[in-house]
Amino acid sequence: MFKTNIPVKTPKPDMNPMVDMAFLLVSFFMLTTTFKAAEPILIEKPQSQSELKMPERGIATITVGEEGRIFFTVDGKYTRKKLLKMMGDQHQIDFSGTEQDEFALLPSVGLPVEQLPGFLALNPQQRKGVDQPGIPCDTARNELSDWVVLTRVANPGVRIAVNADKDTPYAYIDRIIRTLQHNKIYRFNLITELESTE
Amino acid sequence: MSMEEQKEKADWPREKPKRDKRGQKGSIEVDMNPMVDLAFLLLTFFMLATTFSQPQLMELVMPVLPEEEDVEQEQPVKETQALSVVLGEDDQVYWYVGITQPEVHQFAWDEQRVRQVLEEAQNNMSELVLLIKPMEASRYENLIDLLDEINAVGIERYAIAEVTKEDRALLPAD
């Protein structure tokens, strides 16, 4: 009789369109991603219903930890280079070109300025191990003030944002607000997270 | 194009080109799976690394610091206009209307109650000026929550002020 000779092959789907799509998405995400800058310390942001989104550029952030340590950062490599140079001039420290380049890549600074050259000489892995004491900000010595003022010189359009942990005692926030007020910065932003509505 | 060629084109994906026993010209099939795996791996990575939730900003405007010669010109706030909210330790909230010898109310932080106080003040006091007085030990979160409520209620004249000696005297000592 007849022998039916149907091949038991699974049809092979054409994967090209899928691959095309996958690569298209990969390139899209690669180009649009801006990586989260590593936060120097863990900050649990307070929640609010504010609808103002944080801009991606032109923002200087003052981070305050629960124990009051202050970190400072501003976006933009050129701004940062310029900032370090001016900071060096102010404090009679001569930062070399390599140190400026290193600083441009530094996520944030939380050291008195005279400790910066030593810190910049370390490699990124070693830097992680350094427990930064925070930027001095009191009446005797207020380096935060210099950082803020010089950042505004380096990039006049910069906006100042305060990123504080929700459990920070107000006394630490007060120091920062006062510093800003003394530098004639009356309008600034507080970073919060969108309140989750249950 | 010959008929045969056309036919071959039409059913191209279905039928693989027959392997010629004599072995020539058959298109080589490349195993694309590793590439696809990699593509999807990267895709997942970038999707996860993208910052989806940008933080929100809250704008705060502080008053200009008075110059020494200006102090005289400062307009005092009228007693009936002033609502003071003192944020204390352990999420305590104290509030009072007026400046001299007011009646101090106290409660532990509660969003509903705060809103109620603010709304009542907004409706009943003309030209309300809200003074926020956070004590040193109060938590930052309470300040943010209070500012949030102020924005929600729509109070326009408010300021963060220092806790004065007089304020401290009003608060229950503990």
Of B150, B27, B166, whose CA–CA distance to B102 is shortest? B166
Q: pLDDT for B51-72, tens place per residue?
A: 666 778 888 888 777 666 555 5
ipTM surpassing 0.85? no
Cβ–Cβ gap A48/B144 under 8 Å: yes
Rg (CA), chain A: 25
Task: Report whether pLDDT(B27) > 80.
Answer: no
pLDDT band per the 50, 70, 90 thresholds, residue A2: low
Strand partners for A53: B56
pLDDT of residue A135: 87
Secondary structure, 3-state, A157-175: CCEEEEEECCCCEHHHHHH
Say which of A26, A190, A191 has its CB closest to residue B46.
Answer: A26
Pairs of residues, one from chain A and one from chain B, whose beta carbons lie less than 8 Å apart: 147
- Do A114 and A97 touch, CB atoms closer than 8 A? no
Task: Report whether pLDDT(A75) > 60.
Answer: yes
Nearest residue on chain A to B52, judged by CA atoms?
A33
pLDDT band per the 50, 70, 90 thresholds, residue A1: low
User: In terms of DSSP bridges, do strands A159-164 and B56-61 run parallel, antiparallel, or are they unpaired?
Assistant: unpaired
Per DSSP, chain A holds a count of helices (H) and strands (E) of 7, 6
Of B97, B93, B100, B106, whose CA–CA distance to B133 is shortest? B93
Cβ–Cβ gap A170/B40 under 8 Å: no
- Do A114 and A136 touch, CB atoms closer than 8 A? no
Which residues from chain A sit within 8 angstroms of residue B141, using beta carbons? 46, 166-167
- Do B111 and A142 touch, CB atoms closer than 8 A? no
Gap between the Cα atoms of A144 and A60, Å rounded: 12
Region B157-170: mean pLDDT is: 82
Q: Which of A4-8, A149-153, B130-134 has the lowest mean pLDDT?
A: A4-8
| Alpha helices per DSSP H over chain A | 16-32, 77-90, 97-105, 116-121, 124-129, 143-154, 170-182
Which residues from chain B sit within 8 angstroms of residue A17, using beta carbons? none
Nearest residue on chain A to B44, judged by CA atoms?
A26
